[in-house]
Amino acid sequence: MPYINVSTSAKVNDKRKLLEEISILISSLTNKSRRFVMAKIDDNCQMYFEDETPSCFLEIKSIGSLNPSEMAKPISDFIHDKMGIPIDKIYISFEDVPASLWAWNGRTFG
């Protein structure tokens, strides 16, 4: 935790690099160790958002440390800069998960 899932209609050539860079960003925005950030990407997905322009949906989950109003802009800017997706074609879903519902290493955090 935190976890970020990136789904996009765009083709990403260097997925490993993008995943590493977005993990660093999420780590810095949540003030959580990069060691615990899990990132996933599904690119080249069939997506439709008003038209055929490339679009992106991000799901971000964490135990606390989420501040959507402060995080939305830097995350959107990152996706725009790295993938060329217009900011008005990006949705972000933030979810603060209770520690009792998140497990790692065989046990829950709370």
Q: How many CA atoms lie within 13 A of 92 on its CB side?
A: 22
| Per-residue model confidence as pLDDT tens for the chain (110 residues) | 899 999 999 999 999 999 999 999 999 999 999 999 999 999 999 999 999 899 999 999 999 999 999 999 999 999 999 999 999 999 999 999 999 999 999 999 99
**What's the number of domains the chain is made of?**
1
Closest CA to 68 of 78, 59, 55, 80: 59
On whether the CB atoms of residues 52 and 82 are closer than 8 A, the answer is no
Give all strands (DSSP E) within the chain, no chain letters. 3-8, 38-42, 56-62, 90-96, 103-104, 107-108
CATH of the domain at 16: 3.30.429.10
For residue 9, the enclosing domain spans 3-108
